[in-house]
Structure formats: C-alpha cells, structure tokens
Chain A
Amino acid sequence: MSATPMLDIDNLVIRYRAGLFAPRLKPAVNGASFRLVRGETLGIVGESGSGKTSLLRAVLRLLPVESGAIRLDGEDWLALKGDALRRARQKIGVVSQNPFLSLSPRLTIAEIVAEPMLAQGERQGPAMREKIAGLLADCGLPADFLDRRARELSGGQAQRVAIARALSLEPGLMILDEPTSALDVSVQAQILNLLADLKESRGLSMLFVTHNLKVVAHISDTLLVMRRGDVVEFGRTEEVIRAPAEAYTRELLSFGRR
C-alpha cells in the first residue's frame, strides 16, 4: 500500500452563498476530514440535507469550497484551473444515479464510451473501437451493444455502459453517486458484484455515496456517516456496523430487521 492516500480531505467547509445582506447560512459541509486509502472503497452515507451531495460535488470541482484542502493522489486538487483541471479530470471516473439521464439519448454506446477518450486527444479508429469493446466486455456487455442507443437498454445494462465510460480513461479513483438506487434489487446485486470485480482487477479506489447504509456497508472498507453537514461516524466498516457511535446509525442499520 502506497503512503499517499488516493484522496485526502482536510477540514473541508462548504457554504452556499446567500444574498449580499442575508445572514450567513449554516454550512452544507461543516469541516469534514477523511482519507481514502489507495485500492479501498470509502462509503459516504447520509440522508437529504446531510451534505453528502455537496461534498461529492466539491470533490468533482462542480462546487466551490469555503475553506479546507482536497488532495488527490498527493496533488493539490483545488489549485487546478482551466485546461489543467480539464486534463486532470481523467484521474476520476464518475457514475451517477440514473443511467438513462447520464447517457446522451442521441449517441450510440460506442460514441458514449469514446467521448472521454476523444476529449483527451486519443484518435478515433479500429484501435479505439477494440478498446471500447474490451471495456464493455469487462462490464459484462457483449460487443453487439456498440451500435445500440441507451434507450434500448435495461436499467442494469445502461448502468454498465456508464461504468464502462467511467473506466475509459483508466482512472485511479471512481466516484459512484447512488449507482444502484434506481435499480431493482436483483440488478443492484449484479452491479455491486461488478464493482467489486473491477476494484479487484484494476486496483481502483472508490468513493461510494449513497443514502442506503446497507448497500454501502456491504461493499466499503471504510464508512463515513454524515448528518446535517457533520461527519458523525468515520471508521472501518466492520467496526462502525458492530458498534455504531451514534443512535442515528443504529436506527438506519436496524430498519427492516426482524
């Protein structure tokens, strides 16, 4: 295991800008600190208003932070701007909740998966098509999907395409935003298995953000529970599950247990 963590977040504060004379709002994220060890999965759990989405968007540089630091692979991630940021984005692959919304309805699967590669200047051609077919195969899809369109796929298949696209630039870090929340239980199991396989075979680090504690408790090595902007729980998953520090975590874990 390498010494530098994949993602190192230190005392991150995110606050939405209010009007000029409005009183300052309570921060959406109130001083979050954690690190994601290389090759591991960190699960971030929280309900609406917990700040998990703000945190995620800040890591993706879609939202400005008020203070604190984000280091990605040892590099000051918040210092990057413009073209440097655009190029550096290939270190992160992103999969979001609804695959039908995150895949362009106008493009074929091949074009969708090619897009990040083309954006980083790779050349179109048989070699790229070969690579795309390989990515699809790694995600459990046959090559005849290449020329289909997203609307012809089932939810599980579409999410596999989204995962293939996220892998196309061989990122070190995968960010998964509720990747199974729109799927049926049996399909969710397939996708979770796929993610576990990919983590193993490609040595990926993963940030798995969800409202579903049970899903993330299964797949993650470390667990972080957020509530109203605060990190209320952070530790090895087994320990958090065995002895939750917060009544809130216990409540989430006990739901549906008979």
Chain B
Amino acid sequence: MTKLVHRLGWPGTLALGIVVLFVLVAILAPWIAPYPAQGAGAPNVIAKLRPPSADYWLGTDHLGRDILSRIIYGTRVSLTNGVLIVAFSLLIGLPVGLAAGYFGGWVDEALMRGTDVFLAFPALLLAVLMAAALGPGFLNSIIAVAVTWWPWYARLARAEVLVLRGQPYVEAARLAGVSHPRIILRHILPATGRPLTVQAALDVGPALLTAAALSFLGLGVLPPTADWGQMVDAGRKFFPARWWYSAMPGLTIFIVALAFSVLGDALRERKGGAARASH
C-alpha cells in the first residue's frame, strides 16, 4: 500500500481506489443493488419521483425505480462503454500508426492524410453524426465514438515509432536480417506500449463521458437498460423540482470521469511517458 502511494501519489491512489470500486460495483451489481429488479428496469409505479429517503437513498425516478439501483446497473454500461471505445480505437489506431511510422514514405503519407480527414471534424459532432447514421444501440454508440477516437492513437503511435525506428538497436536487428513484422513485434510494439497504455487509461474517462453524451441525446443504449447519460436526460423534464433524478447520475459521471483523469495523470507522472495535452 505504501509502495502504491509512493508510486502514484495520494491523488492517484485515491483515484485508483474509486476506479476499482466502480469496477467492483459493476461486477457485483445484482448483489449490492437495493432493488435489483428495478435496477434492471422493472417499474415500481407506487413510488414515483420520491425524494431521497431511508428506503430510497438517492430517490426514485418517474417510474418509481430506485435511482441508486439504476446507477449501480448503469455502471456496467458506462464502464464497458469507456473501455470498449478505447479498445476499439487502439485496435484501429495502433496498427495504422505503427505502419505509418515504421515504413514512412508513401505509406505514411496515405495513412496520415486519411487520419487527418477524421481529425478535421469536431469529435463530438462526428460521433453524433455517426451514431445517428448507425441508429441507437449499445454497440453502435461505441463504434460511433471509436471512429472519432482512433486517429489520436494513430498519431501517438506514429510519433513513438519515428523515435524508435532510429534507435541503434532497431537498426542492429535490421542489419541482422530480422524481418519487418518481427522487428515491429519484438522491438517497436513493446516500447510503444508504455505511452499508449497511459494514454488509454487517461482516455477511458472522456470516452465514457462522450458515450454518456450520446445517450443523453438519445443515441446510446435503449431503455429499459440503465444508462447514466440517459438518466440525466430523462430527469431533465423534472428539473429543478425533482433535482435528484438528474443530479445523482450526473454527479456519478463527474466522479468517475475525474477519477480516470487523475489516475491517468498519476500513471503518466510515474512512467514519464508522452501523452497529448488535450483532445
């Protein structure tokens, strides 16, 4: 524990704790939610829009469902969203960046100009357009955000590779007759991993935030599945009189996004890896 604090610092350790807590909540949702059935979507019309109380710690929504249970179930969707968006983005961006940086020349030109096309649009607008085109739904919203996300990984990977490609040990491997795929797998990829994992950790928060924004716009997960963004949107009609409906999921989004961002910073500090300043 003290070692962890030493390596990540107090804020980093605290953020890690929050992230771990939410992961546990997501896994254990059916067991820890006070009203599992309501969390999964079952209405409970006898207790519509109740304020926070001993029975319903965070109040209830317009269908009488316990908001705490809804938030707990929403953790599953939000975290999966964030992680999958980053994973999909890495899956596309990393190979593109590696190829562009390693081979250079026209390969680099073609791939990076293609990447620039995606970067030319404001990210959220592009995501909204994509989501609208693909239609709402869990997987579609992830793809929509990942499409705007991967170019950043491509650029980051390319920058790392450009430095590595000139390293004498990479040249030594080339002179020993080692093939390109093998050099990439053995020498380039492991060395780009560090800055990219830091960036990925840093990005789960914003990714989850973007996905929540899509849900808020009705382009994300379909009801009755619980989703934080969707809950904020649904509660908007009852605001400010029934403030808890929007505020509780909104506060949750804020805490999780902040925790990921602080954790990412702590990782970057510790590992000294390069990461971009902002989107």
Select the residue from A104, A107, A168 with max chain B CB neighbours within 10 A: A104
Contact with A along B154-193 (1 / 0, CB 8 A): 0000000000000111011101111100100011001100
B169 lies within 8 A of A104 (CB): yes
Taking a contact as CB atoms under 8 Å apart, the answer to whether B177 and A87 are in contact is yes
Stretch in A26-34, A115-123, A130-138 with 4+ CB within 8 Å of B: A115-123
B160 CB to closest chain A CB, in angstroms? Answer: 14
Beta-carbon contact of B191 and A120 below 8 Å: no
CB distance B178 to A106 under 8 Å?
no
**What does the 1/0 interface line of A73-99 toward B look like (CB < 8 Å)?**
000000000000011011010101010
B182: which A residues are within 8 A, CB to CB? 118-119
Contact between B176 and A165, CB atoms less than 8 A apart: yes
Taken together as a complex, chains A and B put the C-alpha atoms of A111 and B10 apart, in Å, by 39
Number of interface residues of B (CB under 8 A): 16
Chain A's nearest CB lies how many Å from the CB of B273? 15
B167 contact set on A, CB distance < 8 A:
101
Bound-complex Cα distance A25 to B64 (A): 81
Asked if B177 contacts A102 (CB within 8 A), the reply is: no
Contact assessment for B176 and A102 in the assembled complex, using a CB-CB cutoff below 8 Å: no
| A-B Cβ contacts below 8 A, count | 59
Which single member of A62, A89, A105, A106 contacts B177 (CB below 8 Å)? A89
Q: Are A115 and B175 in contact (CB under 8 A)?
A: no
The chain B residue with its CB closest to the CB of A96 is B168
Could you tell me the distance in whole angstroms from the C-beta of A117 to the nearest C-beta in chain B?
9
Given contacts A98-B168, A101-B168, contact A115 B178 (CB under 8 A): yes
Q: Is A215 an interface position by the 8 A CB rule? A: no
Q: Is the interface of B mostly helix, strand, loop or mixed?
A: helix
Q: How far is the CA of A115 from the CA of B177 in the complex (A)?
A: 9
Task: List residues of chain A with CB within 8 A of the CB of B177.
Answer: 86-87, 89-90, 116, 119-120, 169
Given the interface contacts A101-B167, A106-B190, A106-B191, does A165 sit within 8 Å of B172 by beta carbon?
yes
- What residues of chain B lie closer than 8 Å to A94, measured between beta carbons? 172, 175-176
Report the Cα distance A105→B168, complex, angstroms.
11
Contact yes or no, A89 B176, CB < 8 A: yes
A119 touching B176 in the complex, CB below 8 Å, given contacts A62-B171, A98-B168, A101-B167: yes
| B179 close to A92 (CB less than 8 A) | no
Q: How far is the CA of A94 from the CA of B168 in the complex (A)?
A: 11
Say if the beta carbon of A240 comes within 8 Å of chain B.
no
Given contacts A104-B187, A106-B190, A106-B191, contact A115 B168 (CB under 8 A): no
Residues of B within 8 A of A101 (CB): 167-169
Residue A143 interfacial (CB < 8 Å): no
Nearest chain A CB to B261 CB, angstrom units: 29
Contacting residues, chain A, for B186 (C-beta < 8 A) = 104, 107, 115
Q: B residues within 8 A CB of A115?
A: 173, 176, 178, 186
Point out the residue from A87, A90, A96 that lies within 8 Å of B172, measured CB to CB.
A96
The reply on A103 being an interface residue by CB < 8 A is yes
Compute how far the CA of A171 lies from the CA of B78 in the bound complex, rounded to whole angstroms: 58
Q: In the complex, how many angstroms separate the beta carbon of B176 from the nearest chain A beta carbon?
A: 4
Provide the bound-state CA to CA distance between A103 and B186, in Å: 13
Q: Which residue of B lies closest to A105 (CB)?
A: B169
Min CB gap B180→A, angstroms: 9
Distance in angstroms between the alpha carbons of A98 and B167 in the assembled complex: 11
How near does chain A come to B130, taking the closest CB pair, in angstroms? Answer: 38
Please name the residue on chain B nearest to A111 by beta carbon.
B186
B190 near A169: Cβ-Cβ < 8 Å: no
Q: Which residue of A lies closest to B177 (CB)?
A: A89
Tell me whether A60 is interfacial, beta carbon within 8 Å: yes
CB distance from B119 to the nearest CB of A (A): 28
- In angstroms, Cα B178 to Cα A90, docked, is 10
Residues of B at the A interface (CB closer than 8 Å) are 167-169, 171-173, 175-179, 182, 186-187, 190-191
Given known contacts A119-B176, A120-B177, A165-B172, what 12 new A-B pairs fall within 8 Å (CB)?
A: A62-B175, A86-B177, A87-B177, A94-B176, A98-B168, A102-B172, A104-B169, A106-B191, A119-B177, A119-B178, A168-B176, A169-B176
Question: Which 3 pairs between the two chains have the least Cβ-Cβ distance?
Answer: A116-B176, A119-B178, A89-B177
| 24 examples of A-B residue contacts, CB within 8 angstroms | A62-B171, A62-B175, A86-B179, A89-B176, A89-B177, A92-B175, A98-B168, A102-B168, A103-B169, A103-B172, A104-B173, A115-B186, A116-B177, A118-B178, A118-B182, A119-B176, A119-B178, A119-B179, A120-B177, A165-B172, A165-B176, A168-B176, A169-B176, A169-B177
